[in-house]
Structure 1
Amino acid sequence: MNEILKKISLIGIVPVIKINDAEKAVPLAKALSDGGIPTAEITFRTEQAEEAINRITKNVPDMLVGAGTVLTTEQADRAINAGAKFIVSPGFNPKVVEHCVRKGVPITPGCSNPSDIEQAIEFGLDVVKFFPAEALGGVKMLKALSGPYGNISFIPTGGIDATNIKEYLSFSKVIACGGSWMVPENLIKQGNFEKITILAREAIESILGFKISHVGINCENEEQAGGVAVSFSKLLNLDLYNGSTSIFAGNSAGNIIEVMKTPNRGKHGHIAIKTNYIDRAVNYMTSRGYKFDQSTAKYDSNNKLRDIYIENEIGGFAIHLVQQ
């Protein structure tokens, strides 16, 4: 997969934006980035698109900006010259696809059926846009298409919002989703960028789904650990499970407290935070300035990351992410 598309995959969502006033482009890009979404697809549905891309590229260099609704090779060139890092088209136009492939710029053309996908394969593409996603049958249709085309991944767009994005992203062949619910046209027109930041943050929260999995408490020895575990068991009516290095207190919903038999990570212990997509969570936290201790990374049988610690403690607690 192209490196730009890998970056998009780690974000998980691409805001699809129609800009009528290029003056709004930079504050809009900053609002999205502040909300945790450092990418945008600026559609060539207005005359301001080219200038908007140019301004974002120059003033918000960390923003991964691309051009959408690209219908001609001339539009593709204008977008690329303005700084667009990727091109998106609503349908499959062989001339536009060939043009972008020749220039080495990633393009995700709209594909809605097997014939479109086979054309994409002929051009060496391994990621396409699935549009309009909901109208075409949503995830059910994507799964059907993926049967014969197992090497193709998708960026579904159209009818996707906070209520169904997780359903799409939970399908392994979906690398990200396009959507516009966090960038409504009326808020852009009003210049209400604070609200857009809130909507972007809510979108990321709905994707990552951060929740505390359990709290680990350090004890000096097994006897002390047993006493602490029993206390929590009585307090919260929890069952106990005695492991080799710790005692868990939990219920049918999962373990709530882990009491370490000897001091472990963190001055006081550790906090485990589960997430829907650990790779995206790591990318999100890294963009926020946090560093991860790669020596703590644990992987599943498919070599997928399932557990990793942040380098620094917070409040005397080590913090680690756990794949849901």
Structure 2
Amino acid sequence: MTRNLIAILRGITPDEVAGVAEALVNSGIDRIEVPLNSPRAFDSIERLAKMQTGALIGAGTVLDAAAVARVADAGGKMIVSPNADVDVIRETIRLGMQSIPGALTPSECVTALRAGATTLKLFPSFILGTEGLKAIRAVLPEETELLMVGGVGPANFSAYLNAGAAGFGIGTSLYRPGQTADEVKERANALVKAYDAASAGLE
């Protein structure tokens, strides 16, 4: 089963990343983001890419086009940003990577789509809520994939999916710096179970 979940490993170190990634993949989460403000983030991305787990590996908090190229050199295939930077999006697409820029308003969403993004990260999602999501969903092309990030989790998976979300990026409720791989696996198993239940219950 393909689950539209991205694990956000903010603060992880290269020494920890392999064990945590293995725990995530074994739990059914196959997209992993290492934010670039994590310690030695490019080293972590390179280690993950070399593991060949089948997971989609990429970077988060990508703020400029130069960083996009460095992620590509490290073996990353996905670029996630907190904002809709046209230069970042275009460089990501040019390098054949998946572009997931952040946006919160219709203007930002349309700007990102025109630059080439097909998936948008609505961030921070708790500001929008489900009613805000419905309003934005109504004015975007039907095929646009919207991922909710920030203040989302098992308690509101169902509500967001029913309002038009395609999936979620999960950060601190899945991983906090210093947690062991076993702790992450326990959280990931619970999260995947909740996501599957919410997906099965779509109206």
CA–CA separation in structure 2 for the residues paired with 1:158 and 1:102: 28
**Greater mean deviation of Cα atoms: 197-206 or 40-49:** 40-49
User: Letter of the aligned partner of 2:162 in structure 1?
Assistant: S
Q: CA deviation at 1:59?
A: 1.7
Secondary structure class of the residue paired with 1:156: strand
User: 2:13, 2:38 within 8 Å by CA — same for their partners in 1?
Assistant: no
CA–CA separation in structure 1 for the residues paired with 2:44 and 2:104: 29
Q: CA deviation at 1:60?
A: 4.0
> What is the RMSD of the two structures over their aligned residues, measured on CA atoms?
2.0
User: 1:44, 1:67 within 8 Å by CA — same for their partners in 2?
Assistant: yes
Q: CA deviation at 1:323?
A: 8.0
Q: Which has the higher helix share?
A: 2
User: 1:129, 1:154 within 8 Å by CA — same for their partners in 2?
Assistant: yes
1:164 equivalent in alignment to 2:156? yes
User: Letter of the aligned partner of 2:56 in structure 1?
Assistant: L
Q: CA deviation at 1:20?
A: 4.2
User: 1:13, 1:177 within 8 Å by CA — same for their partners in 2?
Assistant: yes
Distance 1:184 1:20, change over 3 A: closer
Match for residue 65 of structure 1 among 53, 57, 66: 57
Q: CA deviation at 1:153?
A: 2.4
Match for residue 194 of structure 1 among 182, 192, 198: 182
Q: Which has the higher strand share?
A: 1
User: 1:12, 1:169 within 8 Å by CA — same for their partners in 2?
Assistant: no
CA–CA separation in structure 1 for the residues paired with 2:12 and 2:202: 41
1:143 equivalent in alignment to 2:134? yes
Matching residue of 1:183: 175
CA–CA separation in structure 2 for the residues paired with 1:20 and 1:198: 17
Matching residue of 2:92: 100
Identity score, percent:
24
TM-score normalised to the size of structure 2? 0.90
Counting only pairs closer than 5 Å after superposition, residues 199-210 of structure 1 correspond to structure 2 as 199-209=187-197
Larger gyration radius, structure 1 or structure 2: 1
Q: Which runs of 5+ in 1 are unaligned?
A: 1-6, 210-275, 279-321
Secondary structure class of the residue paired with 1:197: helix
Matching residue of 2:44: 52
Q: Which digits, 9 at most, give the CA deviation of each residue in 1:229-270, with x for residues without a partner?
A: xxxxxxxxxxxxxxxxxxxxxxxxxxxxxxxxxxxxxxxxxx
User: Letter of the aligned partner of 2:182 in structure 1?
Assistant: E
CA–CA separation in structure 2 for the residues paired with 1:46 and 1:12: 23
Secondary structure class of the residue paired with 1:24: helix
CA–CA separation in structure 1 for the residues paired with 2:199 and 2:153: 18
Q: Which digits, 9 at most, give the CA deviation of each residue in 1:27-78, with x for residues without a partner?
A: 0100111222122111001241111111111124322211110001111111
Q: Which runs of 5+ in 2 are unaligned?
A: none
**Which portions of structure 1, spanning 4 or more consecutive aligned residues, are displaced by more than 4 angstroms?**
none
Secondary structure class of the residue paired with 1:183: coil
Report 1 or 2 for greater relative contact order, CA contacts < 8 Å, sequence distance ≥ 6. 2
Matching residue of 2:25: 33
Paired residues in the alignment total 201
